[in-house]
Amino acid sequence: NAGVTQTPKFQVLKTGQSMTLQCAQDMNHEYMSWYRQDPGMGLRLIHYSVGAGITDQGEVPNGYNVSRSTTEDFPLRLLSAAPSQTSVYFCASSLTGGLSGANVLTFGAGSRLTVL
């Protein structure tokens, strides 16, 4: 059981380049989300999805796009990378979006992105 798989683990980009961070889960979770982690700021929600075909913005969505064509996959796209997007990105999933049960998030291993 792989859980939540993120790729790549490390990436260096130049300003203006685009890239996609991949996230896949094999737990049949309805809810998937992307967070960025910056020192002293905890985790901030970028985008989330409560099911295939449904996405919504979180706290810091600017500069990022997402799509959810399948239950398993939730890629995060950086359209035109900026140095302010240098961060560690985590994908997380849970069984549902929060209306029932404990809904503990399962996190991927993280992707460290540096934008020069």
Partner 1 sequence: ELKVEQNPLFLSMQEGKNYTIYCNYSTTSDRLYWYRQDPGKSLESLFVLLSNGAVKQEGRLMASLDTKARLSTLHITAAVHDLSATYFCAVNFMEYGNKLVFGAGTILRVKS
CB 91 within 8 A of CB 24: no
Minimum Å gap between C-beta 66 and partner 1 is 17
Tell me the β-bridge partners of 12: 114
Instruction: Kindly state whether residue 32 participates in binding partner 1, applying the rule CB under 8 A.
Output: no
Minimum Å gap between C-beta 15 and partner 1 is 26
Instruction: Kindly state whether residue 104 participates in binding partner 1, applying the rule CB under 8 A.
Output: yes
User: For 11, phi and psi rounded to 5 degrees?
Assistant: -155, 135
CB atoms within 10 A of CB 40: 4
User: CA 61, CA 54: separation in Å to the nearest integer?
Assistant: 15
Instruction: Kindly state whether residue 108 participates in binding partner 1, applying the rule CB under 8 A.
Output: yes
Minimum Å gap between C-beta 13 and partner 1 is 20
CB closer to partner 1, 6 vs 85: 6
Instruction: Kindly state whether residue 110 participates in binding partner 1, applying the rule CB under 8 A.
Output: yes
CB atoms within 10 A of CB 58: 16
Binding positions for partner 1, rule: CB under 8 A? 35, 40-45, 90, 92, 97-99, 102-110
